[in-house]
Amino acid sequence: MAQGAVNCLHPFSKEVKAPATKSQLDKTMVFGLSDGTFVNIMFETDKPVFLWSAGLENQKRKAGISLIKVYDFQSRGINDVAVVRDDSTVEIFSLNYDQEYELQYTTNINEGVTAIDAGQVNVPGLNEFMISTYSGKIIGYLDNEEVNKIESKKPKENPKDMEKKIKALRAEIDKLKQNVDQLKAEVPADASVVSPFQRQNS
């Protein structure tokens, strides 16, 4: 079982649609601990019940967890867990086929993090984690696979349509050149512009 002081906590459920009521959700929490793990505990009437722990890779000790966010990052109907560690490492854990939370992504931003949240920010329908730093930065983390799916669904421009647009632009440029040449031809070669001040003094 994990051992360490509690640094942060968040209401937790594996499935997004369950539990059904807020009172049930408040009974199950995920805690970020100083020993580098996060644990899931359910509070029963008589005593709290330890359910599972995660956060260590190959049982190697990591920096303590200072911030934690539970959110369905991959839109699977199952919540993922994003954590920020004391050494500014950001990690995202997802439930694997063995029903265990496994590390999916990690990065270090090399500066202190003040908050973490999640939602649809830049692209409608695409979830991302957002973090803020002590220097005032706001950084978003997107799922590259989901970005690729959205890009693949966008209608691709037909090459023939592109050719038509290019021809139309060239024709417009040629017409503008002809208009300029015509204006130049209409102005006499020895014509000079006289300012109103020159007329008054002459």
Per residue in 103-113, pLDDT (tens digit) is 888 888 888 99
Torsion of CA 42, 10, 37, 111, to 10 degrees: 180
Q: In what order do the strands lie in the sheet with 80-85?
A: 65-71, 80-85, 89-95, 101-108
- Rounded Cα–Cα distance for residues 69 and 73 (Å): 10
Measured in residues, the chain has a length of: 202
With respect to CATH, is domain 6-143 assigned 2.130.10.10?
yes
Whole-angstrom distance, CA of residue 86 vs CA of residue 68: 12
* pLDDT value of position 191: 55
Residue 183 has pLDDT above 70, yes or no: yes
Question: pTM, whole model, 2 decimals?
Answer: 0.63
Residues 34-52: tens digit of each pLDDT: 988 888 888 887 888 888 7
Residue with the larger pLDDT of the pair 38 and 1: 38
